[in-house]
Amino acid sequence: MPVNAALNWDQIQREATDILSRYIRLDTSNPPGGESKAVEFLARLLAGDGIESRTYQSAPGRDNLVARLRSSDTQSPPLLLLHHMDVVAANPQLWSKPPFDGLIRDGHVWGRGAIDDKGLGAIHLMAMLLLKRAAVPLKRDLIFMAVADEEEGGSLGTRWMLDNQPAEVQCEYVWDEGGVGSVGITGNRPVFTISVQEKRSVVVRLKAYGRGGHGSVASGGPLDRLVRALHGIQGFAGDVRFNSVTRRFFEQLAETQTSLAGWIMRHPEAPVSGSILRRQLRKVHTLNAMLRDTVTVTVVQAGVNSNVAPDEAEAVLDVRLLPDTPLEDFLQRLNRAINDESIEVTATDSPPSPPPSSTDTAMFQAMRRAVLTQVPEALVASMQTPVATDSRFFRERGINAYGLIPVVLTPEELGSIHGVDERISVQGLVQGIKIALDVLLDMCT
Ligand SMILES: [Zn+2]
């Protein structure tokens, strides 16, 4: 691409690194979020290049931003770049660098959100600024959208925007988070996964009531029963189940494997594949989570005094269902594993399961081409992400949404997402901007 090739990438690297570093310094841990300061920051950067943006407040301190590069051609509907400004909490005691200083060290930008999702935001923003500076006529509108509240369900962010400002975010394609580039998980060839479908998140609460009593004599009370119930669901996971997206994902991934592993990936449901596949899945948690219903105990609450057995006890389970698992069936299986009718089991509503976004679109192909231009040895595969993203709100409305942070991450960098020492390499950041700019040039000019 001529525009792309003529750019001063050293300067872009400095600018992008600086933007991401400053973005990380705005602590938007959710709760409480406080994304308004991030909106002000992004709006200023956009205005610096003459791009107007609008702010939509869903609650005090919770702002969302939409900026648009307009096309004079109204034939093609817009392409929307989406990222979330909020981040999950970080415990500074566990980190080797302060999580909200945005330090640039050892070729990396460090801090909470460096990858998820301020990293993607910086990539989208930089690509949009470069497109604006190139002053080329656009054949469709390009929308940059920064939302609040993704990490806590999106009801004040993407969902709120789609419900309250549908015209502002109407588009043909969405580029969101969900997949990444990685290396070292299934061999040394870089693999870029583009998410086209996701699992559904359900919160399940287990409650035990009854009589506690003096700690010296009471036993078999609510907390004891809850502990037994939790013991019953240890290791609870649904069977491995494939659907059209995961079958296709394995078929594509087979290319990176030697003959036996490749055969198994192409025939994952063959009887001989079963036990080998299950053994492998135990080692690769992300693949395992992609193919089963999963349950993780995330909160347990009971008791105040060391010498009083509590009258009630509660546990919260983070449940992730495959797109085609009926919630009722899952709850029946869970109840069987708990095997105690006195435990009250309640679940949040079953989220809808929209069809996957098509891979047979100009946008998916543009993303694929752009990745292969920048990383020719890569494999690009569509996949089902085990995490929930804002893409689901667009898919529910029939809009194709694609999830990709377009950067090759090492297993350590990948593990730092929602973990300790989150960081993105400066080189990766630039790679992401090059891929994003290629996609925008392809789709919008
Ligand atoms: Zn995220």
What are the boundaries of each domain within the chain? 2-178+355-377+384-444, 201-238+293-352
pLDDT score, position 179: 96
Ligand 1: distance of its center to the CA of 273 in Å?
33
Answer whether 429's CB lies under 8 Å from 123's CB.
yes
Ligand 1: distance of its center to the CA of 392 in Å?
13
Question: How many Å apart are CA 168 and CA 207, to the nearest integer?
Answer: 43
Ligand 1: distance of its center to the CA of 331 in Å?
28
Ligand 1: distance of its center to the CA of 116 in Å?
5
Ligand 1: distance of its center to the CA of 177 in Å?
6
Q: Please, which residues bridge with residue 54 across strands? A: 66
Antiparallel, parallel or unpaired: β 104-105 and 400-409: unpaired
Ligand 1: distance of its center to the CA of 389 in Å?
7
Ligand 1: distance of its center to the CA of 442 in Å?
26
Ligand 1: distance of its center to the CA of 374 in Å?
24
Ligand 1: distance of its center to the CA of 296 in Å?
19
| Fold match flag (2-178+355-377+384-444 vs 201-238+293-352) | no
pLDDT score, position 256: 82
Question: Which pTM was predicted?
Answer: 0.92
pLDDT per position as a tens digit, 296-347: 999 999 999 999 999 999 999 999 999 999 999 999 999 999 999 999 999 9
Question: How many Å apart are CA 443 and CA 46, to the nearest integer?
Answer: 21
pLDDT per position as a tens digit, 75-96: 899 999 999 999 999 999 999 9
Q: Which two tokens stand for residue 410?
A: 């090492």
- Structural fold of domain 2-178+355-377+384-444: Aminopeptidase (3.40.630)
201 by Cβ neighbours in 10 Å (0-12 / 13-18 / 19+) ranks as middle
Ligand 1: distance of its center to the CA of 53 in Å?
22
pLDDT score, position 248: 95
- Structural fold of domain 201-238+293-352: Alpha-Beta Plaits (3.30.70)
Ligand 1: distance of its center to the CA of 90 in Å?
14
pLDDT score, position 268: 86
Ligand 1: distance of its center to the CA of 153 in Å?
11
Ligand 1: distance of its center to the CA of 178 in Å?
8
Ligand 1: distance of its center to the CA of 40 in Å?
20
Ligand 1: distance of its center to the CA of 85 in Å?
9
Q: What is the DSSP string of 361-423?
A: SHHHHHHHHHHHHHSTT-EEEEEEESS--THHHHHHTT-EEEEEEEEEE-HHHHHTTTSSS-E
Ligand 1: distance of its center to the CA of 405 in Å?
10
Reported for 276-282, long-range contacts at CB under 8 A and 24+ positions apart, including other chains, are: 277/240, 278/240, 281/240
Ligand 1: distance of its center to the CA of 256 in Å?
27
pLDDT score, position 367: 98
Ligand 1: distance of its center to the CA of 403 in Å?
10
- For the chain, which residues score pLDDT lower than 70? 1-5
